[in-house]
Amino acid sequence: MNFTLDSFDDDDEAWYKSYGGRDGHVFIIDSSKNMYDDGKLEKSVGMIKQVMQNIIIKNEKNMVGVLLYNTEKSVRSLDDVNEDEKFEPIQNISELLKFRTVSATSIKCIRRFKDDGLTEFPVNYGHCDTNPGCFNIVLWHAMRMIQGSGFKMNDKEIVIFTDKNIPFPNDSPEERSAFKKAEDLRDSGIRVTLIPMSENFGGEAFYNQFLSIVNEAEIEDVQKEIEMLCKDPDDKVKRCFKKNYSKRCNSRIKFHFGQGLDMSVGIYSMHREAKPPKKVILTSDDNSIVISKRVATQVIEVPETGQIMEKNVLPSEESKYQKLGDEKVVFSKREETQMKRIMNPGIILLGFKPKSSLVLSAHLRGPNFLYPDETIIKGSTKLFIALWRKCLDMDKVAYAILTQREGALPKLVALVPQEEETGKNFERYSGFRIEYIPYVDSIRELDIMNEIDFPQPISEHVEIFKKVVRKLRFRYSPYTFHNPSVCGKYKIIEATVLEEEHPPFVDCTLPDTDLQDERLGELIGKFNELFEPDEETKVQKRKGSDTSGAPAPKVQKTVNFSQIQNAYNNGSLESFTVDNLKSFLVEKGKTGLSKLKKADLIKMVEEIMEDDLLSSVNV
């Protein structure tokens, strides 16, 4: 959602992006002799394998195809299982992988080609550097692969791996044909990415102009990207272990200023926790998927016969209760829904405060992003820009009540204006950042801060810590740290499917202790001298019944019936521990208590006491 509010035009509706469809990538590798001899062809194939491993994790429906150009022979694809199918060779072009969804089979094909197939590459494929029109032909074939996929495509990309600055002479018919092909690619919505396989790659002769036409970008921006990729071509294919989610609008609601003035806005998620793939329960016989179903039952005792029967309860027949003192206040599901409907979906403006009023300690959860939306109220963007620009100029924050959807609880939020800013490791958009702040009922005071008399550090201690902090500084970026549990699980699954050796587990969140020791140097000795305790404190073990030092076993505390009865009458059953409640229920002949929570145990005790009370009344 990279929108620039300042560049909005009334007649420009291009920023309403249509979501849906798959992503398609066609990789084109220059297979000239120089690429092969210098090992660049092998490196290109390895990078493509890594991208395919990323894609299969991000979205298994995305599609990938691989083409080789400047080959002497035209060879059919590695994953072409139907060898009887008619093969139509294209001069000096080989189809390494057909344009299909990424699978474990296609990744294995690329791995085998990298490990074994490249050895016999000059014999099986060969090299041809004498066909200047091969570049245009392979672009046409790549475009035909994408357009003939038969699926709706969301993002279409062609990636070129080459070390040649100029694929053909300047001002040649092939060059003019390439620029015409660039316009066709642009009109088809296909973007082109260049991966230069040479540190001294100069794209100013041809590729700067070609990529600026295809991607509708400035030549200076294209040149900067090429220079950056020359230094680090692997930057485009770094491993990632997270699902790819479309930046869809979470909800579209009205923003109420008061006095009948409204505008429509959209709310977007800025962060989403990366989670490992969900486990699927299978049967041990044939590995078929087990489908779980929740069924609510009611136990009924027939008065005439005393027989216990079970009756299925429909969701519409269920009720809930809230305990208030000794009373159980019962609500139907409809009443519960009506109670939760406190406010209609929307944002109600409360007022404005200086930005300094928003303190870090008031942060409740991750923020969302607010952006104008024209689907409900036309002209909302103009009003949104006016509010956003004025809050930036006056350094103000808007406070409001937010109800995201029907039945959601109202939240107290601060709308913080922010301008667009893009860096290597971050991206920030123009709009309002929604910061969730607590109600007064949610604020907790830490009594421990008042109870403990903390000692005051001496100046020598403060100085040594200042030096330690200066020595251990580092450049932080959220893109540096991967979730170790997610990465580890994906790597094990990936290695199992691809029949590879399980990689060693590496936790990138742990610090480099050797580097820290090297930076601190003599400070470690001074630190230990200053903060070494005067006397070593020994951990005292509990004495057991014997001299082995083993801890004595816990003694199970039991409670009698009169204690339980008094607590039941006073409504203080919660004062008993879980062990006390379990011991009482065991005496009453109850079983299956190991997995029950304290609330369930108290409920069982209450039922026993009610039964005893009824039996005493009947007597």
**Look-up of token digits 């298994």:** 60
pLDDT average, residue stretch 344-362: 89
| Most confident stretch, 90-104, 380-394, 446-460, 512-526 | 380-394
Superfamily designation of domain 22-243: von Willebrand factor, type A domain (3.40.50.410)
Which of helix, strand or coil describes residue 283? coil
What is the Cα–Cα distance from 157 to 137, expressed in whole angstroms? 17
User: Is 22-243's fold the same as 447-535's?
Assistant: no
**More confident position, 17 or 114:** 114
**More confident position, 15 or 32:** 32
| pLDDT tens string 261-311 | 999 999 998 887 777 777 888 888 888 888 888 888 888 877 777 788 888
Q: Is the dihedral of CA 562, 564, 566, 569 positive or negative?
A: negative
Pick the CATH number of 447-535 from 1.10.3720.10, 3.90.1150.10, 3.40.309.10, 1.10.1600.10: 1.10.1600.10
- Of 210-214, 349-353, 501-505, where does mean pLDDT reach its minimum? 501-505
End-to-end CA distance of the chain: 75
The amino acid at 581: L
Asked if residue 255 lies in contact with residue 347, where contact means CB atoms within 8 angstroms, the answer is: yes
What is the Cα–Cα distance from 415 to 429, expressed in whole angstroms? 14
| pLDDT tens string 555-591 | 445 667 778 877 877 777 878 888 888 888 888 878 7
Q: Show me where the domains of the chain are located.
A: 22-243, 251-256+262-272+341-442, 297-340, 447-535, 561-617
- Of 118-132, 299-313, 487-501, 603-617, where does mean pLDDT reach its minimum? 603-617
17 catalytic? Reply is: yes
Q: 17, 61, 390, 603: which one is catalytic?
A: 17
Q: Is the dihedral of CA 124, 129, 131, 134 positive or negative?
A: positive
- Paired tokens of 267: 């709310």
Residues of the chain above pLDDT 70, percent: 85
CATH 3.40.50.150, applies to 251-256+262-272+341-442: no
